[in-house]
Each structure stands twice: as structure tokens, then as C-alpha cells.
Structure 1
Amino acid sequence: MIAYVTVGADDIARAKRFYAAFLPALGYGLKEGPEGLSYALPVDPGQSPVLPDFYVKPPFDGQPALAGNGVMIAFEARTQKQVRDLHAAALAAGGFDEGQPGFRASYGPHFYVGYLRDPQGNKIALFSSNPAEPGREG
């Protein structure tokens, strides 16, 4: 099981604007400290944490943060509309488009996804695979 995912950021304030545009809508809470941003899903008393957590931090080695080629973090939305709305909000908050929301022929008929880059260049996917919504034709 993956416990947490960390992406590097040189400008934490800029990263916070970007991630604040969609992570709270997906249920993530933010704890901010001198080491960066820590996002986690809520945990009911007596329950185990819902993993993975998501961290945005400056690199520990003090070198510039670099986005990994071929690395992508995907966040699940509830509906196709939420994917569209959050994709637009993330773009308005400083993200870069890597693929407008829609169906992709390579994936299943209900996999609806939009791709972004955060201000540091990390690739993010926002997707919904809600079987109650219309699927891809053909």
C-alpha cells in the first residue's frame, strides 16, 4: 500500500495556490508547516488513515525541485463535471494544461480524465470513472 506521495516545489506559496484549487474539493485537508504542505483525507475517530497522503515540499538536499519524466499523480473526482470544474480551477490557479478533460481511447469507456502540470512541472491527473455517468461512445 502506498502511504504517501511527495512532490518537490521551489515556491511553496505558488504550489499552495495551485493545489488549493482542487484538493479541498476532493476532501483533502491541509496542514502547513515550515517543511511544506501536507494534504490528507479526514479520519474518523478510531479509524485508520485513508492513504495515501500527499506532500508538497522543497527538496531536502537544497537543490532545485525537478519534475520526474514519466511520473504522474492521479486524484479521483466524483463526477465528470467535477473533473472539468477542478481542471479549470487548477489552470486559473497557475497550472498548465496537459490534456483537456475527456475520454481517452486507450482507457475504459467510463474513464474521464484531464491532465495538468503544477507550477513546478509535476504532472497531475484528475479523473472520474463513475459508472452511473455516460461513457465514451464506440
Structure 2
Amino acid sequence: MIAYITIGVNDIKRAEHFYSAFLPALGYQLEIYHGDLSYALPEQPGQLLGLPEFYVKTPFDGGPASAGNGTMVAFKACSQQQVRDLHAAALAVGGSNEGAPGFRDSYGANFFVGYLRDPQGNKIALFSSDPNEPGRDG
């Protein structure tokens, strides 16, 4: 199981502005620890394993952060409309569009996704795959 995901950024305040535009709507709570950002989902009673946390940090080695080619972090939304809303919210605070929300031919009929880049260039996906919502073919 994945315990946490870390991405590097050069501007923590700008990153906080970007990620706080949509992660709280997905249930993530922000904790600032030693100047870095930690977004975590609250633990549920009886939960055996903790859900992965998402860390946004300046690189430990002091060098500049850079986005990985082919690296992406995906966050699950509750609905297709929430994907649209959160994609728009992230764009409004400095994200860049890497693919408008919608269906993709290369994915399943119910996989609805929007892609972004954060201000540092890290690629983010927001998706919903609820089989109770209209699919690509319906």
C-alpha cells in the first residue's frame, strides 16, 4: 500500500494556493509542518490502513524542484460534475490545462477525467468512474 506521495515545488505559498483550491473539497485536511504542506484524509473509526498522504515540499537537497516526465498524481472525485468544478477551481488559481474534463477513448466507458499542471509543472489528474453516471457511450 502506498503510504504517501511527495512532489517538489520551489514556491510553497503558490503551491498551497493551488492545492487548497481543490483538495479540501475531496476531504483532505492541510497541515503545515516545518514550512511544508501535508494533505491527509481523516482516519475513519475501525480503519485498518491509513490512506496515502500527499506532501508538497521543497527538495530536501536544496536544489530546484522539477516535474517528472510521465509522473502524475490522480485524485478521485465523487462525480463528473465535481471533476469539472475542481478542474476549473485549480485553473482559476494558477494551474494550467493539460486536458479538459471528459471521457478518453483509451480508458473505460465510465472513466471521466481532467488533467492539470500545478504552477511548478507537476501533472495532476482529477477523475470519477462512477458507473451510475452517464458513460462515454451513453
The verdict on a shared fold, with TM-score over 0.5 as the criterion, is yes
Smaller-chain TM-score bracket: over 0.9
Hey, what does 1:96 align to over in structure 2? 96
How many equivalent residue pairs? 138
What SS does the corresponding residue of 1:54 show, helix, strand or coil? strand
TM-score, normalised on structure 2? Answer: 0.96
More displaced 10-residue stretch of structure 1: 21-30 or 42-51: 42-51
Q: Structure 2 counterpart of 1:130, which letter? A: D
Q: Give the aligned partner of residue 131 of structure 1.
A: 131
Query: Which amino acid in structure 2 is aligned with residue 81 of structure 1?
Result: Q
Q: Please, what is the CA RMSD of the aligned residues?
A: 1.3
Counterpart position of 2:107: 107
* Mapping of residues 1-138 of structure 1, within 5 Å: 1-45=1-45, 47-48=47-48, 50-137=50-137
Which runs of 5 or more residues in structure 1 are unaligned? none
Runs of 4+ aligned residues of structure 1 deviating over 2 Å after TM superposition are 44-50
Deviations 1:12-47 (A, max 9, x none): 000001000110000000101224000100013553
Unaligned runs of 5+ in 2: none
Q: CA deviation at 1:81?
A: 0.2
Q: Is the 8 A contact 1:42 1:49 kept in 2?
A: no
Q: Distance in 1 between matches of 2:31 and 2:49?
A: 15
Of stretches 25-34 and 47-56 in structure 1, the one that deviates more from structure 2 is 47-56
Aligned identity (percent) is: 70
